[in-house]
């Protein structure tokens, strides 16, 4: 199986800083592979809050993750400070990709890239939904937060 290769973010739409906590570590003493997705999840929640929504309600429709890819680039340890840069790509009527670049602040070293496929989802009907017009307008015009 070929190694995952993820592209650089084309547009940074949001950035946030996170601290690595003991619960992010695995038996190797560094951030576990599953915890990188947890860190990305926290960043995604902050991004959606900045936009005025949440995963369960973004202008009347929710969001659901459809896939995820992680490219590990360096070890990360407890108490390190990270910056997560995020960008929206490949927006369609009902889906988009979120690209994440995670950098350690101390030495500005990129430690991971993540890409998640996101779909708008109606949690009441349990079916795919359509992107809210406000979301489409913001990212089709590339308005940066």
The pLDDT tens digits of the residues spanning 53-95 come to 999 999 999 999 999 999 999 999 999 999 999 999 999 999 9
What's the number of domains the chain is made of?
A: 1
In this structure, what CATH number is given to the domain that contains residue 110? 3.10.129.10
**For residues 73 and 64, what is the distance between their CA atoms, to the nearest angstrom?**
26
Residue 145 lies in a domain: no
**For residues 83 and 79, what is the distance between their CA atoms, to the nearest angstrom?**
13
Neighbours of 34 (CB within 10 A): 10
How far is CA 40 from its chain centroid?
Answer: 5
* Whole-prediction pTM: 0.93
Residue 125 lies in a domain: yes
The pLDDT tens digits of the residues spanning 27-56 come to 999 999 899 999 999 999 999 999 999 999
**87 torsion bin: left (phi>0), alpha (psi -120 to 50), beta (else):** beta
Residue 41 lies in a domain: yes
Residue-range definition of the domain harbouring residue 53: 14-140
């Amino acid at each position: 199986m070929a190694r995952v290769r993820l592209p650089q973010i084309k547009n940074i739409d949001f950035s946030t800083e996170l601290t690595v906590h003991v619960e992010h570590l695995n038996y190797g003493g560094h951030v576990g592979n599953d915890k990188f997705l947890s860190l990305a999840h926290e960043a995604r929640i902050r991004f959606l809050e900045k936009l005025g929504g949440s995963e369960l309600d973004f202008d009347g429709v929710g969001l659901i993750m459809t896939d995820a890819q992680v490219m590990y680039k360096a070890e990360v340890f407890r108490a390190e400070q990270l910056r997560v840069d995020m960008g929206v790509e490949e927006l369609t009527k009902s889906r988009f990709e979120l690209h994440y670049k995670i950098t350690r602040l101390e030495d500005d070293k990129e430690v991971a890239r993540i890409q998640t496929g996101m779909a708008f989802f109606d949690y009441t009907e349990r079916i795919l939904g359509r992107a809210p017009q406000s979301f489409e307008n913001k990212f089709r015009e590339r308005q940066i937060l």
